[in-house]
Amino acid sequence: MEKLIITAAICGAEVLKEHNPAVPYTVEECVREAKSAYDAGASIIHLHVRRDDGTPTQDKERFRVVIEAIKKEIPDVIIQPSTGGAVGMTNDERLQPTELNPEMATLDCGTLNFGGDDIFENTENTIKYFGKKMIERGIKPELEVFDKSMIDMALRLHKKGFIQSPMHFDFVMGVNGGITGELRDFVFLRGSIPADSTYTVAGIGRFEFPLAVAAIVDGGHVRVGFEDNVFISKGVLAKSNGELVEKVVRLANEFQRPIATPTEARKILGLG
């Protein structure tokens, strides 16, 4: 079984300091949280960026400043910018961080009802456009799937040449409007991807650690972090992203699953 790759989603675009005071907004806070996660065992930092007041942005220069600051502190970590952006952004606005030529970036594979009137729109043409740009820029996409139909979309577009093999999926489970985080649904998604692909599981809220265990046992990989869950246990706020990563490492140790370094993660994912 491969070593376990841990991704830390350190801030997200929705979670705020009012949810957990340790959620990072500023460059310095992002560096602090990225380092706490890395020191605990994360090899990938899934990155959204914000203005200092907490406003989410896809601005390329803000991404550049944050990425350079993180890399100065932890040079070998893998930075995975989000191309999700915010509702209403154009494709090119969302794609700005890919102009910095990161090793990886996310590629959302379908449209989702986020609740109320909020629709996270990813048309087939949007997905094709993002996939083509990532191929041109030599970026490995992490295929964000919130439901089984999004896996089907990724497989179809792979056949058409917009997504290359081997594919790497991120099962985002427990989001309002998407698939739930029950073990039954994890098994369903897991059985729907090609044998030569890899996957990470991102369980939202209370699903974070049960799904982490499922992925650890199955040979998959795990994402944790404030974007997905701000609690270390029921009703207890996590002090840092690092504390969430530490819990995954303890779980992995229980099942004798070694943790991958960034160098090992690159080899597993076929980066570089």
Q: How many helices (H) and strands (E) does the chain have?
A: 9, 14
Distance CA 158, CA 153 (A): 8
Q: Angle 247-10-269 (CA atoms, 0-180°, nearest 5)?
A: 80
Task: Please answer whether residues 17 and 50 qualify as being in contact, where contact means their C-beta atoms are separated by less than 8 angstroms.
Answer: no
Domain membership of residue 40 as a residue range: 6-269
Q: Would 202 be classed as within a structural domain?
A: yes
What's the rounded Cα separation, in Å, for the pair 187 and 24? 33
> Residue 158 has which token pair?
């792979």
Quote the number of domains for the chain. Answer: 1
User: Angle CA(89)–CA(93)–CA(98) in degrees, nearest 5?
Assistant: 135
Given a contact cutoff of 8 angstroms between Cβ atoms, the answer to whether 25 and 50 are in contact is yes
Instruction: Report which of 126, 128, 135 is spatially closest to residue 105, judged by C-alpha positions.
Output: 135
Q: What is the pLDDT along the chain (272 residues), one digit of tens a residue?
A: 899 999 999 999 889 999 999 999 999 999 999 999 999 999 999 999 999 999 999 999 999 999 999 999 999 999 999 999 877 889 999 999 999 999 999 999 999 998 788 889 999 999 999 999 999 999 999 999 999 999 999 999 999 999 999 999 999 999 999 999 999 999 999 999 999 999 999 999 999 999 999 999 999 999 999 999 999 999 999 999 999 999 999 999 999 999 999 999 999 999 97
Residue 194 lies in a domain: yes
In terms of DSSP bridges, do strands 168-173 and 198-203 run parallel, antiparallel, or are they unpaired? parallel
Q: Which of 65, 95, 89, 77 is nearest to 38 (CA)?
A: 77
Q: How far is CA 45 from CA 30, 37, 56, 223, 269, in A?
A: 10, 8, 17, 9, 15
CB-based contacts of 246, cutoff 8 Å, min separation 6: 40, 41
CA atoms within 13 A on the CB side of 131: 27
Max intra-chain CA distance, the chain:
47
User: Which CATH number is 229's domain given?
Assistant: 3.20.20.70
Q: Give bridge partners of residue 49 from the DSSP assignment.
A: 57
Residue 1 in any domain: the answer is: no
Query: Contact at 8 Å (CB) between 197 and 167?
Result: yes
